[in-house]
Structure 1
């Protein structure tokens, strides 16, 4: 069975119309923090959403400190990344044992493979900052392997 999961982060209260096309057909959306008001409700129109706190999020019972999930036989860790200061793939791989690690915070798209593990920052989907293009990710898990596609929202 193939699983397709939407990855989004750093929306800061903005859900662009292009997110609906970029994440169409996913079975679950994982939000890596800095969510903002109204975002979870909008994303739930696409698929069920699980989300973690970012460093700018107020207390919200729907946001978790981190997520540990198993999908298609692979372990997935989701956190914002700010808990490690300035998150890097090396710091994340050392801190979390999951097969797939999803984070945000830096607003920079990143996909790194190391020792059969995958580290993904889908980029910031909210307001454009730091001359970075807004984006989301589509994580595909099939036959015990994970692949990710970053989708530009501009």
Structure 2
């Protein structure tokens, strides 16, 4: 199974559209958004770009939760509080956004990775892309879809069959200072 992984879109529709286009080109079957969608219109933009199946994990900037829930449900997307563990493509995957400082988020990520309870840990919040293989385990942060902190927009693709993951650059954010 090919899973498109994105995070921290922060309502930046250009990044969302580029992500959906890349996922479609690669034959992604499911998109996991690891939080900080922010507004429901971002979910609608994903659907308009052809994303039919998505799991959304709440982030610290997702304030309109009831409206996000209603819109996600109307689109056939699933939305969850973090952390969420699901078996996707035969692989046990932990999904979370993160909270507090980068160190706080990474301490939780590391605990999950070392726990033996999951095969893959997907997280966001830090806006820093990362793919780390530890034997058969993968720790993955797709970076930021919005490009608002680094100026670089990125997403990732996880192949559950081969247990490989890759970061994909979407380009530079044009209005980044």
TM over 0.5: yes
Matches within 5 A, 1:54-69: 54-58=59-63, 59-60=65-66, 61=69, 62=72, 63-66=79-82, 67-69=84-86
Question: Comparing 95-104 with 72-81, which one deviates more in the overlay?
Answer: 95-104
Instruction: Report the alpha carbon displacement of residue 91 of structure 1 after superposing the two structures with TM.
Output: 3.6
Partner of 2:3: 5
Which one has the largest radius of gyration? 2
Is 1:78 aligned with 2:95? yes
TM-score (norm 2): 0.75
SS at match of 2:163: strand
SS at match of 1:75: strand
Which structure has the higher relative contact order (CA within 8 Å, separation 6+)? 1
TM-score (norm 1): 0.85
Instruction: Report the alpha carbon displacement of residue 12 of structure 1 after superposing the two structures with TM.
Output: 0.5
C-alpha separation between the residues in 1 aligned to 2:30 and 2:125?
21
For structure 2, list consecutive stretches of 5 or more residues without a partner in the other structure.
Answer: 73-78, 172-177
Deviations 1:103-122 (A, max 9, x none): 00000001112242111000
C-alpha separation between the residues in 1 aligned to 2:56 and 2:170?
20
Deviations 1:61-105 (A, max 9, x none): 2431122211222101111021786322x6413136210110000
Partner of 2:174: none
**Alignment counterpart, residue 51 of structure 2, candidates 24, 42, 46:** 46
Aligned length: 148
Output the aligned Cα RMSD.
Answer: 2.0
Q: Which has the higher strand share?
A: 1
Partner of 2:37: 35
Instruction: Report the alpha carbon displacement of residue 53 of structure 1 after superposing the two structures with TM.
Output: 0.9
C-alpha separation between the residues in 1 aligned to 2:140 and 2:151?
16
| Aligned residues of 1:104 and 1:123 also touching (Cα < 8 A) | yes
Sort the Cα spacing of 1:65 and 1:83 in 2 relative to 1 into closer, same or farther, 3 A.
farther
Is 1:103 aligned with 2:105? no
